A and B are shown apart, each in its own frame.
Chain A
Amino acid sequence: MLAQHETWQYRWRKTASRTILYLVLFAGAAIMMLPFFWMLTSSLKAPHEMTLRTIQWFPKVPQWENYKIAWNAAPFGTYFKNSFTIALAVTFIEVIFSSLAAFAFAKFNFFGKNFLFVLFLGTMMIPGEVMLIPNYITMVDFGWVDTYYALIIPWTVSVFSIFLLRQFFMSIPHDLFEAALLDGCGKFRFLTTILLPLSKPAIVTVMLFKFIGSWNSFLWVLIMTNTPKMRTIPVGLTYFVSDVGSYYNYLMAASTFAMAPILILFLVLQKQFIQGIAHTGLKG
C-alpha cells in the first residue's frame, strides 16, 4: 500500500488547496491595494477623463502637471514644513523624556514607584477626548493657539512609549547596571552610553510610532490652528477640499503627496515597524 502522501488524490487535493490559498490571498491583496491604485491613476487623469461613466484604468496621457496645479493651489509648502517640524520635534523630545522616565521606572528603587507607575498607566485608560476641552482652554489661556507650542508640547510624553521602553530596559540584566555603577559609571552615563544603544529596536519602534502618529494627527491640529501658516498636511488637505471642490484629479494628486513621506518611511523601515507592532501586541 502506498503511503498517504504518495497517492494522487492527496497530491491533487494539496495542489488545489494551494491554488485556492494563493488566489484568495492575492485577490485580497489586490482589493487592499485598489484604492491606492485608483488614487494614483486618478491623479494623472485629464478633467474629461474624470467624468467617464465606465472604468478607465489608466489615463490616456498622464497629466503630470496635475501635481503642480494641486501643489500651487494651496500653501502645501508651508503645510509640509509644519508637519515635518512638528513630527520631528515631537518625536525627538518624546524619546528623550520617555527614556528618562522609563529608566527611572526600570532601574531605580524609589518611594512611590508603584503608585506613580499605576497613575501613569491609568491615563492610557482615559480617552483623549476627555482631555481635549480643558487642554484647549489651557492653550487659550497660555496664548498658544495657532503656535508650534500648542502642536508640540502636549504631545512630548506618551505613557505608551514609557511603558514600552521600561519593558525593554527591564529585559537588560540588572547586573550590568550594578557592575557599571561599581566601576564608577554614573547613572546618566549608563543610560546614554550603554542602555540606549542596547535598546535600539525599542527606541526605533517608539520613534516610528510617534512620527507617524504626529504626521497623521488631525483633531487637535484642527482645533488648535486658525490660519494657514500653522496648518499641517492633514488639516490643510481638508481645507483644500473646500477650495477645489470636486476636482478630484487635483484632490487625488494632493492626497498622493500628503501620503508619500509616510509611505516612503514605512517602506524603508517596514521590518522594524512590523516587528514593533508584533512586539506591542504580545505585551498587551
Chain B
Amino acid sequence: MIKIPSEMRTKKYWRETFEAYLYLLPAFVVLGMFSFYPVVKSIYMSFFDWSLLRQQQYFVGFENYQRILSDKVFHQAINNTIRYVIGYVPFSIGLALIVAVLLNSKIRFRGTLRLAYFLPWVTSSVAISMVWRWIFNQHYGLLNMLLVRLSNMVNAVVSFVTLGNYPEVWQFSNPNWLMDPKWTIINIVIIAVWKSMGYNIVIFLAGLQNVPNELYEAAEVDGASPWQSFRKITLPLISPTTFFISIISIIGAFKLFTEIYVLYTGRPGPLNSGMTIVYYVYRNAFERYRMGYASAAAYILFGIIFVFTLIQMAVAKRKVHYAS
C-alpha cells in the first residue's frame, strides 16, 4: 500500500495546494495552450500529410521523416548548419574568453570597453544584418575597401623587405561576399561572432570574478608564468561557465534563421548555401504550407539539439570542475 505522508492528510496542505494552483493558473493556461499542447500536436502532425490548403489531412506514418532524411536540400541544411556551428562556437567562445581575461586585469576604461563589446548584443538582428549587408557589398562595401587598403599595405611592406622580388604577394580579388556561395556561412559566422561576443564576455567576467585572487598570487610566488596560471587555474575554475556558454551557443547556433533571411532578403543564400534547418522548416511550413512535413523537420532539429546537449553533459561530467 502507498503510504501517504502525514502532511498530505491535513486540511491546511490541501488549502495551500488550492491557493498555489490559483497563482499558477495564468502561467499554466498560457503554457498549456502555446507550449504543452503544440509540442504534442506537432508530433502528431509530423505523421500526417498535413496541408493548410485543404480540409482533409492524410495519415502517412513515418513517410515525412523518410522523405526529409533523403532530401538533398535537407542534407545541405544539415551540412550548412554544422559548418556554421563549427565556425561560430569556437570563435565566439575563444575570443570572448581572451577579451574577458584581458578585461579582468586591473585596467582603466573597463566599463567603457565592456560597453563597446556588449553593444551589438542588444541590437535587433534584422537592423544589424542590414548594416552588414551594406558592409559586405562588393563594390562600395566597407569590408572590401578596407581589405584593398590592407592588401596594398602588406604588398608594399613585403615588396620593400624582399627588395622588390615579391611585388604582389596578396592579390586582392575583390570577393563578392553576398553572391558567392562559398562565403555565405563565413559571412554569417562573422556577424554572429560579432553580435554574441559581448554576452559571452559578460558571463565569463562573472565567472572570472569567482576565481580567488590568492590562487594567482600563490602561483606567481611559485614562479608560474601568466600562461601557466591561465592553463592551470583560470581554465579549470571557470569550466562551469565555459560549459554553460557552450551549451547556450550550440543551441542558439542550430536555430540560425533571421540573419540568413535578412542578409539574403528572404532567400536562403545563393544556391541554398545559407539553407539551415530552421530555414527548411520555415520554407516548408510558411511558403509551401506543408505543415506535417515541416513539423517532422522541426522534430529532427529537436532531436539533434537534444543529442548534442546529452553529449556535452557527458563531456562535462568528466571535464567540468564544480567547486564543492
Q: Which residues of A are in contact with B by a Cβ distance under 8 Å?
A: 21-22, 24-26, 28-29, 32-36, 38-39, 42, 50-55, 96-98, 100-101, 103-105, 108-113, 116, 119-120, 123, 125-138, 140, 153-154, 156-157, 159, 162, 187, 212, 215-216, 218-219, 223, 233-235, 237-238, 241-242, 248, 251-252, 254-255, 258-259, 262-263, 266, 270, 273-274, 277-279, 281-282, 284
Contact = CB atoms under 8 A, between A and B. Distances in A.
By secondary structure, the B interface counts as: helix
Given A35-B194, A127-B251, A238-B265, A263 B42 contact: no
B116 interface: yes
Interface of B: 7-8, 13-14, 16-17, 19-21, 23-24, 26-28, 30-31, 33-39, 41-42, 45, 52, 99, 102-103, 105, 107, 113-120, 122-128, 130-132, 134-135, 137, 139-140, 142, 145-146, 149, 194, 197-199, 202-203, 205-207, 210, 241, 244-245, 247-248, 251, 254-255, 257-258, 261-262, 265-266, 278, 281-282, 285-286, 291, 294-295, 298-299, 301-302, 305-306, 309
Contacts of B257: 219
Most buried by B among A100, A187, A238: A238
A259 B149 contact: no
- The 3 A-B residue pairs whose C-beta atoms are closest, nearest first, are A281-B203, A278-B206, A134-B38
B26 A111 contact: no
Given A130-B38, A134-B45, A153-B30, A32 B126 contact: no
30 contacts: A25-B113, A26-B113, A39-B131, A53-B140, A55-B142, A97-B27, A101-B24, A101-B28, A104-B24, A123-B31, A126-B35, A127-B255, A129-B255, A131-B38, A133-B285, A134-B38, A135-B38, A137-B52, A140-B52, A215-B124, A218-B126, A233-B127, A238-B126, A238-B261, A252-B131, A255-B128, A259-B128, A273-B122, A278-B206, A281-B207
A266 B119 contact: yes
Given A21-B102, A97-B27, A281-B244, A32 B45 contact: no
Contact of A248 (B134, B145, B298): B134
